[in-house]
């Protein structure tokens, strides 16, 4: 096994930079640079020197013994003054040590996975944790990283292995005295797992939103003040505004954080009848994107106007360009009147939806869970049919266990690892 090293903190000037080393020669590398191997897990101040004895930096060195580190391997951290020159000089010195090489992206985490410090779902949670930009993303990734999914899978697997064992016991004893009918107990176990899987699957769409962002579309007739409102929310001139009706043609997207949630706001072409072919395409796009969005803010030109689009139950219907706020249900991009109220309404609705988010954060999880569900359904049907189908039922249950094993990466890991780690930073 190679010993790997990498800069774990971001490149560029910083207060402190962290270089990580992991593998059988990690302490050896520390000894070469720092002169000795400080006691494990204690920050020790050392002068780091290159092989010619030139001082590289005064640094904090922390050693982690094999079996008690992030990767599970012998590893060490060099906490350096965060200058580009120091980092480069230290990395150069490490490169010259035989048996050491620069880590690939995600390789430290990969080793943690190989050493059973993390399961695959946790690795995926960790990837999301590093990508997290909003509060909701941080919380979701942390939940997955903490191993919530793995724990559930463990419980499900336990129930299914027990069910299969019960069924198999009846097969083995088929010729002898038949033990009591196990099917009621098996059916209960199967039903319990199915209910929990269903809940996870139902929350998958929401966890996806938290990862990728909710879409909120601003819709209304031309000149309703949509672009001005978007710009006010974005805090910049993301969309062109003008007194000419029909200014916005394409869908304009602005990503922002609303109440801790990642939200993509969509400014859309004003909805009206038009002879202009280009505008008509824009209007068609506006309608379809708005329909697919999670929520719509429908702007009216004046109180009592008929909305351009039929509002869904949670949609907001507001009178736009109302600078003074004569109406509770009004908003002005120009003065900012009503914007706070609108934002808290939107984030309230989206947050309540986000509560149902599950740990199924990737398509891979959804696919494995759907497979598990399908096999569970067949297993249940076979059990219901009767004793002569017991063997088939047990076989279906083994398939479920297989799908669950894939889910947490007990098997078939290699096929997904490349994809997962391609998004990792070097040093993680």
Ligand X SMILES: Nc1nc2c(ncn2[C@@H]2O[C@H](COP(=O)(O)OP(=O)(O)OP(=O)(O)O)[C@@H](O)[C@H]2O)c(=O)[nH]1
Query: What DSSP designation does 330 have?
Result: B
Per the annotation, does 215 bind a ligand? no
Per CB under 6 A, 424 contacts ligand FFO:
no
- Give the DSSP H/E element, type plus range, for residue 32: helix 26-34
Site for ligand X in 290-329 (CB under 6 A): 321, 323
Q: What angle do CA 130, 132, 133 make, to 5 degrees?
A: 130
Per the DSSP assignment, residues forming a β-bridge with 256 are 263
Query: Among residues 57, 73, 74, 77, which is the contact residue for ligand FFO, using CB under 6 A?
Result: 77
70 contact, one of ligand X, ligand FFO, none, CB 5-8 Å limit per kind: ligand FFO
Whose Cβ is closer to ligand FFO: residue 86's or residue 193's? Answer: 86
**Shortest separation between residue 67's beta carbon and ligand FFO, angstroms:** 6
381 contact, one of ligand X, ligand FFO, none, CB 5-8 Å limit per kind: none
Size, binding site for ligand X by CB under 6 A: 21
Query: Among residues 3, 109, 248, 403, which is the contact residue for ligand X, using CB under 6 A?
Result: 248
390 contact, one of ligand FFO, ligand X, none, CB 5-8 Å limit per kind: none
Per CB under 6 A, 18 contacts ligand FFO:
yes
Query: Among residues 68, 303, 384, 385, which is the contact residue for ligand FFO, using CB under 6 A?
Result: 68
64 contact, one of ligand X, ligand FFO, none, CB 5-8 Å limit per kind: ligand FFO
E strand segments, 118-251: 214-219
Tokens 């109406």 identify what position? Answer: 327
Whose Cβ is closer to ligand FFO: residue 59's or residue 297's? Answer: 59
Among 86, 93, 110, CA closest to 29: 93
User: CA–CA separation, 252 vs 38, rounded Å?
Assistant: 56
What are the start-end ranges of the H helices in 173-219? 183-212
Query: Among residues 9, 22, 69, 134, which is the contact residue for ligand FFO, using CB under 6 A?
Result: 69
- Give the DSSP H/E element, type plus range, for residue 5: strand 3-7
405 contact, one of ligand FFO, ligand X, none, CB 5-8 Å limit per kind: none
What are the start-end ranges of the H helices in 213-273? 226-234
Per the DSSP assignment, residues forming a β-bridge with 299 are 318
Q: What is the DSSP code string of 262-313?
A: EEEEEE-PPP---S-HHHHHHHHHHHHHHHHSSEEEEEESSTTPPPSSPPPT
Residues annotated in the binding site for GTP, as ranges? Answer: 223-228, 242-248, 267-270
Q: Please report, as ranges, the residues that interact with ligand X according to CB under 6 A.
A: 222-228, 241-243, 245-248, 269-270, 321, 323, 332-334
């Amino acid at each position: 096994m190679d010993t790997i090293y990498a800069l774990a903190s971001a490149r560029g000037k910083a207060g402190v930079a962290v270089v990580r080393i992991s593998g059988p020669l990690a302490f050896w590398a520390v000894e070469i640079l720092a002169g000795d191997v400080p006691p494990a897990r204690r920050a020790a101040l050392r002068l780091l020197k290159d092989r010619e004895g030139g001082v590289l930096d005064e640094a904090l060195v922390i050693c982690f013994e094999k079996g008690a580190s992030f990767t599970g391997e012998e590893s060490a951290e060099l906490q350096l003054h965060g200058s580009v020159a120091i980092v480069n000089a230290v990395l150069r010195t490490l490169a010259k040590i035989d048996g050491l090489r620069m880590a690939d992206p995600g390789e430290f985490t990969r080793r943690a996975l190989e050493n059973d410090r993390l399961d695959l779902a946790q690795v995926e949670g960790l990837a999301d944790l590093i990508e997290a930009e909003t509060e909701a993303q941080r919380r979701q990734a942390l939940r997955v990283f903490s191993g919530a999914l793995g724990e559930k899978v463990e419980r499900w697997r336990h129930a299914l292995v027990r069910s299969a064992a019960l069924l198999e016991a009846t097969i083995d004893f088929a010729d002898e005295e038949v033990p009591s009918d196990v099917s009621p107990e098996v059916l209960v176990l199967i039903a319990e797992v199915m209910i929990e899987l269903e809940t996870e699957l139902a929350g998958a769409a929401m966890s996806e939103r938290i990862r990728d962002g909710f879409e909120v579309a601003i819709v209304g007739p031309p000149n309703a003040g949509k672009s001005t409102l978007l710009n006010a929310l974005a805090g910049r001139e993301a969309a062109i505004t003008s007194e000419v009706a029909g200014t916005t043609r394409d869908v304009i997207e602005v990503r922002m954080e609303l109440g801790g949630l990642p939200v993509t706001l969509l400014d859309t072409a004003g909805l009206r009848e038009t002879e202009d072919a280009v505008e008509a395409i824009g209007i068609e796009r506006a309608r379809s994107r708005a329909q697919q969005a999670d929520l719509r803010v429908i702007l009216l030109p004046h109180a009592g106007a008929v909305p351009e689009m039929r509002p869904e139950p949670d949609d907001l219907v507001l009178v736009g360009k109302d600078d003074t706020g004569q109406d509770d249900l009004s908003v002005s991009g120009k003065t900012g009147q009503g914007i706070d109220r609108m934002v808290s309404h939107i984030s309230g609705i989206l947050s309540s939806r986000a509560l149902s988010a599950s740990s199924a954060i990737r398509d891979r999880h959804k696919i494995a869970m759907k497979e598990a569900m399908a096999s569970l359904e067949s297993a249940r049907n076979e059990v219901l049919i009767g004793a002569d189908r017991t063997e088939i039922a047990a076989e279906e249950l083994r398939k479920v266990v297989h799908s669950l094993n894939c889910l947490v990466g007990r098997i078939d890991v290699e096929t997904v690892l490349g994809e997962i780690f391609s998004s990792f930073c070097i040093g993680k």
